[in-house]
Structure 1
């Protein structure tokens, strides 16, 4: 049975724009159909109140009843409806407001039909619900709450001591372990089991989408589970340094004195590159690669911070590629953009990209690649226009969205973490607690007025 076409309402006070949009896109090919066309926001709202609608494409500036008011009213009425904004105003404030109402995209007139079709595809595609992840187990692990861990794992038939393993990659390896498989984050899977692990030969993973796996050789008590899992996570990420291997049986080691060697070479790119590449066969700890990356840009005063090792892995495929990225960002960019009488167009493109892609694991380097700009220039332009760094702005945006989703939906916490662009569930919990002084689950329980939230208050 064919899936029913998504129903779209078009709203713009310019009939010519409406006609152009209707004829410029193959709606059927996108799995959609236009069910209403309006030049007045109030009439559009009246229609939406009485008829099923999936997507609203609306102009912002319209007489008497503008597009933002329409978004606000429809969101309150039908929160599942998705919005795409079109406007002749390259205005940052409009972009911010439209995203706050759940807009998937912000198109400037004249409308780029390829861009608009991209937003429509995004609206049509179903999102992952993330229900495989048990947030209580992950939170208990993060908090190292041993009594909660014991209760959860014993209910799964696991009694201490247990063995642990972690794999990184699209393919979970449930068939290799007789026990519990728990997603931890984007392409991260934790395995907890009671029987000693079997040897896993490299050839067994040749046709899989697994980048790395680490398996404990000794069982651990629940009180030591957190440290064992984190060690597994770091060990399984050694593929970043050794692409020829996938199974890692030795622990990743954090080398001493690395930053002291980097410091005198910060303004000598060629010498710094030689030093960094000389460590290719020695480094093995993914957190050390992250620290090297952030140390260099922090001391150079360049806002290119990467917040977690998961983001580092999604930005660069290997340590050598990371070094090349560092060198590229240190190269001066002759392009300069003058901003007069408001925000520069380059900045508006950047801020629009951030608001449209905050739900993915984006970094300053990703933004720079998207617009063919130097990463250093991107960070400087953003700081100049906002007075803030990209990382801080993006974090604030994601936390705002996380709170909204916890308040207005019953999505699992893991799904909210994914929806807000956090591939690292542990990091999401940490950041949310810093932002609100409580864990996501506790925040939701407080909203519900749970009188028995005594356990959560101890987290």
Structure 2
């Protein structure tokens, strides 16, 4: 709802305005009224409005004086003038002040409704533009911080972008905190994001952003590498009980404090700690390195060649993984000083790594694959039982990848899109090329990618356009053609659909 304030020294005019318009139907609400300009100005300070409807001739402070004074305090205020006088000087002064309309009394209800409707459209458009601008800046910040923390942006480039975007890491040490919301409702996640920013405002450095997984990430700065993170974690955890029902439930994890230049290590630790909620679902938060959760497996060199496991997983070699897991557990059993509790921790660590590796490959979570794995580890009475629990997880991950294998024709279509996205591609031309009916090809493509052909190619082209906007000096209409859009207007429409702002606004933020 937009707020409306009325100012007129004639009570029956005020009463009539309340009754003659269905304000709610227009998305408006009257938040107050006053009988002169001075009272109206005082009231607007207490209750800001979006639209002011005012008479010109009023005692104490007239309408023109009210408009000028109110605009100094509320620059975006829209004004509609009412007057019993068809006076050109009044109209001229009103136009100088940027009014929406000058309506003569008695009021024409139809003209007033039309003026209000146009003013609402104008205000909503301005709000949308502001939202897109703010969203665009946050989008660039999110992308910049994520790429820096994951090692895909050079330090020099990060510093240059950070300076431009107002990202300041002044503290010598930093710790990453991750909040993963348990709700898919955007408004709840947005409120949580705002509350985290407020909670972080007292930190020496409190940079809040969203990563590519949709997690909220806080980089908290500290002057000392041995600082206490507990007050911050308690404050963030306390958001759960603040305003119940308004914020989503969330899982809270943190990495260790590292030098700010190595904040990526803390981020990786905080993300990994999130996975241990599968083991400790009732904890308020999980701090990486907490001896209750991370005892021997977090210390020293990891005793298993994980890169080899990852290669076997990508190769979908379930038997190879089973053989390697058995071999490693048997080897460790013979190692000096190894305890049963250590081997259980190692099994949990391996399950977490399988989960994270599968997620990185498929870009989606499949928690059902791991639901009973930790319980099996806890119930295992011997080494063979621990190894079997990990083997079952490995096999489920391999099965998931096998099920995800796409048909050869869809792979050919995907390769065609990736290599020739700038060409005029369609299901008809590709169907003819690969000797398959275009209707069936479209159905097969949607089934195996969960997206329509048009949706997929548009998203891919827009991603390529974003890369070109970031890395080249080509004009927008040139980039549109380079990625396959010969109609610039359609390119603008698709870019705004997937990015939230226009390509011109996106380029201006880089």
| TM-score under structure 1 length normalisation | 0.38
More helix by share: 2
Q: Which structure's CA Rg is the greater one?
A: 2
Q: Which structure exhibits the higher relative contact order, with contacts defined as CA atoms closer than 8 Å and separated by 6 or more residues?
A: 1
